[in-house]
Amino acid sequence: MGCIRMANLLEPWGKFGQMINDRHAYAQQWKTRNEGKVMGYFCTYVPEEIFYAAGVLPVRILGSHEPEDITSRHIYGAYCPHSRDCLAQGLRGKYDYLDGIAMAQTCMHIRQAFDSWRKHVPVDYICDTYVPNYISSPHTKKYLVAEFGDIKRSVEDWVERSISDRDLDRAIEIYNRNRRLMREVYELRKQDPPLLSGAETMEMVVSSQMMDKEEHTHLLEEALAELHQGQHRVRPGTRLMMLGSVNDDIGFIRAVETLGANIVIDDHCTGSRYFWIEVIPEEDRLAAIAQRYIDRPPCPHKDYPEGHRIKHILKLTRDWNVKGGIIAQQKFCDFDEFDIPFILEAFKGEGIESLWLELDVVNPVAQFRTRIEAFLEMLDPEVV
């Protein structure tokens, strides 16, 4: 069921979740309706604006959170569940409508999923771009501008048309508009109780990574109009932050909130990191896009000096009045695991308690329940 039809059938809060469920049907309908190409990307450092400017629909490749036994011949069992789940979707043919795939330099686990995908799931176009790990280097912007120039030329060859400055300006503004509205949604979660739940918010963010940004923006505008009327409010609960590895398991987030918590802010690449920073226009459009990907809240895979990432996380905890943090780490995720001691130390310095959970393809909610209930009772005995 496509987005346009859904808008006529569901209330605002149902549309985002339905979109996630119908992501593949939506992309195929978009492709037919627009006579365009669809490109799947594995990492949020892929410069989507360049592809969108060419009339290509970028969609995030994500897993299904269902057990699988198809990836063992392709990827190490000690690689993270997210990388194996994503690869399983490609090998099972769930993304057969993709015309191309794209990767930005990231961890070994996702790279292995990407490498196996391009060997075993045929597509017309492959983009493998290098985004320096030392992203805070003064030389990074110059390098990325050249790299993004190569991407632009390769996309032009692929779609057989040029990408003008006007095309890039339009793409930048459409993406910036969507980012501004998502920030507006997150601002509403500062209220106590917040105007919408963490699970509802995550449905908004994740669906934005699967939809045409203009269409997603229309849904956001409709939802925000209702929110600003104060018609949607969740029950009081302990104010938590969710942070750590990639986490699009909305069922898990919903389960946490049913125990008496409100997840009011997050820091992971399927959440706020995806949209937090806008592109600030420059005369050189590729330079402006490059600067945005340098300035965005960094993944633990990227190096920033002077604790930039930790400072950003702590600012979020203060601005959203967080009482506790759930650090949700994908099993075997080395970069996030290396990051966790620094987060725990920073939280301790702020008087913020934390709970560390290890995520898998299918998360043992029943096992987590006891630990989460004990954590919430420690934070706020009257709520549980």
What is the span of the domain harbouring residue 263? 169-379
DSSP state of 66: S
Per-position DSSP letters for 321-360, written without gaps between them: T-SEEEEEEETT-HHHHHHHHHHHHHHHHHT-EEEEEEE-
| Cα 224 to Cα 181: distance, rounded to the nearest angstrom | 8
Please, what is the angle between helix 12-21 and helix 198-208, to 10°? 50
End-to-end CA distance of the chain: 39
Domain presence at residue 212: yes
* pLDDT tops 80 at residue 365: no
* pLDDT tops 60 at residue 298: yes
pLDDT-based confidence at 139, cuts 50/70/90?
very high
User: 99, 127, 160: which is the final residue of a domain?
Assistant: 160
Across-strand partners of 102?
Answer: 41, 127
Q: What is the model's pLDDT at position 5?
A: 33
In this prediction, residues 130-137 reach a mean pLDDT of 87
**Does 364 or 182 have the greater pLDDT score?**
182
Q: What is the model's pLDDT at position 216?
A: 97
Q: What is the pTM of this model?
A: 0.93
**Domain tally, the chain:** 2
At 10-41, the pLDDT tens digits run 466 679 999 999 999 999 999 999 999 999 99
Q: Could you tell me if 300 and 186 lie in one domain?
A: yes
Q: Could you tell me if 181 and 144 lie in one domain?
A: no
Nearest to 101 by CA among 79, 131, 121, 130: 121
pLDDT-based confidence at 2, cuts 50/70/90?
very low
Q: In what order do the strands lie in the sheet with 238-244?
A: 261-267, 238-244, 324-330, 353-359
Q: What is the model's pLDDT at position 4?
A: 35
Q: Could you tell me if 268 and 311 lie in one domain?
A: yes
Q: Could you tell me if 140 and 191 lie in one domain?
A: no
In this prediction, residues 125-131 reach a mean pLDDT of 94
Q: Could you tell me if 130 and 238 lie in one domain?
A: no
Q: What is the model's pLDDT at position 339?
A: 82
Q: What is the CATH number of the domain that holds 251?
A: 3.40.50.11900
Q: Compute the C-alpha angle 56/206/292, nearest 5°.
A: 65
Decide if 241 contacts 316 (C-beta within 8 A): yes
Whose structure tokens read 């560390």? 356
Nearest to 48 by CA among 298, 267, 279: 279
Q: Which two tokens stand for residue 325?
A: 């943090």
User: Beta strand 261-267 with 238-244: parallel, antiparallel or unpaired?
Assistant: parallel
